[in-house]
C-alpha cells in the first residue's frame, strides 16, 4: 500500500523536520520521502485533512479492556478500534481481567488476539498471583512471552518485603515493577479527596497522606534494592516533590498521571456524578497545579488516559456505591491541549512512555517505519456521549470543553481514520 500524506505539520522534537509542514510518502509501511510537495499517482491513498498535524504514534500506558471476563464493559476488538480512532498506536493492557493476567498463557492470549490489529498491544503482567498481593507471579516467564512490566492494577503492594524481593528479582532480566501509590489502611473506605468538599458532601475521604506515605515507602525500598520502579497515576503535590527528590538522588524511578487528575479538581464532586468517582480521587487545585508543573519540568514522565470502562450497572448508581473509574482515550488529547503545548503532550504520550517501557520509537524521517498519529490541535468542541466510541460510556469529561481531536493513525502498514 502506498499512502501520501499532504501538508502535515510534523511534531517530533527528534526529527529533522520538527515543526515543518511537509508531504510524506509511505510505501509498504516505510516513509520513503518527505518533501515540500510530492506528486500524487492514481494508485496512492491520499490523506489530505484540515490543519493536519502528525507525530510519532501515541502510547497509552494504562488501558483496561475487560476481555477476557468482562466483555460487557469492553472487548479487545472494540477497545483497539477506540484506541486507533483516539490516536493511539500502542496500548499497555492492565491485568484486571478474569482470569487475571498472571502467567505466560494469559499474556500470549492478549498478544495473539490483537496480532492483526493496527494498534499494538503490550500486556502488563500482574506482579502477584491473581493480584492478591501474597505470592509473586511468574514475572520472567511473562516477560519472555511479551509482558512489558508488572503491577497489580489499582491494588497496592502491602507487603514491603514482597515489593523488595520483586525489585531485586526483576533486575535479573531488566524488568519494570509498578507499585500503585495507596496505603489501604489510611485510605480506609474513602471514596473522595479528604477535605472541605468531601466534608460538605458527606463523603468519606481519602487523605493525600494515603498516597504519599506509600510513595515514600516505595522510594526507600528502591533506594535499598536498586532496579526500576514506575509509580502509576500519582495525584498529589507531595508525591511530585518526593519523586523529584528521588530522581535528584539518581534513583531509577518514573511516574505517570491520569489526564483527569491533571485537569479536574474535587470541585466537580458537587452534583454526585458517579463518573467523577475515580481512583486516585480528584484532588484540590493546589495538587492539580503541582501536577501540571511536574509534567512541564519533567518530574512526571507519562500522561495516561487510565482508560477503565465500567458497565452501567456499576456506574449509573449513587456516587457512594459506584465503581471507580473512567474511560479516557477518546477525550485524552482534547483535554490535554486545553492546558499543555504540543511538544509536552507528544513527549508524555509518545517519547517518554516508549522509552520507559522499552518500546522502540521510530522518529519521523526517511527510511523509518511509519508509526504515526494524525490530529488537528485547533478543533474546539464540547465533549458529549456522541464522541464516545467505547462500549461503556463512563467518561468524566462529558460536558467539558476540549481543544483538539485525533484523526486516526498509521501503523503496521494500516491506515485508520475517523473521516
CA proximity to 269, closest of 219, 214, 196, 327: 196
Place of cell 456516587: 319
Is 343 considered catalytic here? no
Task: Output the CA–CA distances (angstroms, integers) from residue 147 to 107, 115, 132, 306, 355, in the order listed.
Answer: 6, 14, 19, 18, 15
Question: How far, in Å, CA of 146 to CA of 356, rounded?
Answer: 15
332: Cβ contacts below 8 Å, ≥ 6 apart:
60, 86, 87, 259, 303, 305, 349
The pair phi, psi for residue 300, each rounded to 5°, is: -90, 120
Q: How many CA atoms lie within 13 A of 303 on its CB side?
A: 31
CA distances from 384 to 267, 374, 405 (A): 20, 21, 13
Sign of CA dihedral 349, 351, 354, 356: negative
Separation in Å, CA 198 to CA 188, 237, 270, 314 = 15, 19, 9, 21
First to last CA, the chain: 19
The SS3 assignment for 298 reads: coil
Q: Which residue in this structure is represented by grid cell 481514520?
A: 417
CA distance 208 to 199: 15
Q: Which of 306, 343, 378, 387 is catalytic?
A: 306
Radius of gyration over every alpha carbon of the chain, rounded to an integer in angstroms: 21
DSSP state of 397: T
The residues with which 326 forms a beta bridge, in sequence order, are: 307
| Catalytic (active-site) positions | 306
Amino acid at each position: 500500500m502506498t499512502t501520501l500524506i499532504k501538508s502535515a505539520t510534523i511534531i517530533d522534537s527528534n526529527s529533522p523536520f520538527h515543526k515543518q509542514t511537509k508531504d510524506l510518502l509511505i510505501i509498504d509501511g516505510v516513509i520513503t520521502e518527505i518533501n515540500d510537495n510530492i506528486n500524487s499517482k492514481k494508485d496512492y491513498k491520499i490523506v489530505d485533512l484540515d490543519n493536519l498535524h502528525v507525530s510519532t504514534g501515541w502510547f497509552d500506558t494504562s488501558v483496561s479492556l475487560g476481555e477476557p471476563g468482562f466483555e460487557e464493559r469492553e472487548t479487545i476488538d472494540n477497545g483497539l478500534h477506540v484506541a486507533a480512532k483516539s490516536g493511539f498506536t500502542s496500548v499497555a493492557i492492565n491485568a484486571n481481567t478474569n482470569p487475571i493476567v498472571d502467567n505466560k498463557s494469559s499474556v500470549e492470549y492478549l498478544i495473539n488476539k490483537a496480532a492483526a490489529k493496527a494498534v499494538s498491544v503490550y500486556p502488563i503482567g500482574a506482579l502477584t498471583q491473581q493480584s492478591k498481593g501474597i505470592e509473586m507471579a511468574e514475572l520472567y516467564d511473562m516477560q519472555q512471552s511479551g509482558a512489558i512490566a508488572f503491577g497489580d492494577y489499582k491494588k497496592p503492594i502491602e507487603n514491603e518485603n514482597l515489593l523488595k524481593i520483586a525489585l531485586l528479582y526483576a533486575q535479573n532480566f531488566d524488568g519494570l515493577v509498578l507499585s500503585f501509590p495507596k496505603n489501604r489502611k489510611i485510605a480506609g473506605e474513602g471514596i473522595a479527596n479528604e477535605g472541605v468538599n468531601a466534608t460538605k458532601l458527606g463523603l468519606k475521604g481519602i487523605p493525600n497522606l494515603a498516597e504519599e506515605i506509600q510513595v515514600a515507602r516505595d522510594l526507600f525500598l528502591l533506594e535499598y534494592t536498586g532496579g526500576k520502579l514506575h509509580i502509576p497515576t500519582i495525584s498529589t503535590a507531595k508525591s511530585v516533590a518526593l519523586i523529584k527528590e528521588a530522581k535528584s538522588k539518581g534513583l531509577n524511578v518514573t511516574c505517570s498521571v491520569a489526564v483527569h487528575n491533571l485537569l479536574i479538581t474535587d470541585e466537580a464532586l458537587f452534583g454526585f456524578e458517579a463518573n467523577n468517582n475515580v481512583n486516585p480521587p480528584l484532588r484540590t487545585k493546589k495538587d492539580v497545579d503541582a501536577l501540571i508543573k511536574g509534567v512541564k519540568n519533567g518530574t512526571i514522565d507519562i500522561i495516561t488516559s487510565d482508560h477503565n470502562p465500567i458497565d452501567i450497572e456499576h456506574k449509573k448508581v449513587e456516587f457512594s456505591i459506584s465503581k471507580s473509574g473512567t474511560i479516557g482515550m477518546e477525550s485524552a488529547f482534547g483535554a490535554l491541549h486545553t492546558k499543555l503545548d504540543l511538544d509536552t503532550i507528544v513527549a508524555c504520550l509518545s517519547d517518554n512512555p516508549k522509552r520507559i517501557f522499552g518500546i522502540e520509537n521510530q522518529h519521523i524521517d526517511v527510511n523509518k517505519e511509519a508509526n504515526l498519529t494524525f490530529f488537528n490541535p485547533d478543533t474546539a468542541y464540547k465533549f458529549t456521549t456522541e464522541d464516545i466510541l467505547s462500549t461503556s460510556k463512563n467518561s468524566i469529561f462529558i460536558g467539558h470543553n476540549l481543544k483538539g481531536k485525533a484523526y486516526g493513525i498509521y501503523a503496521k502498514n494500516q491506515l485508520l481514520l475517523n473521516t
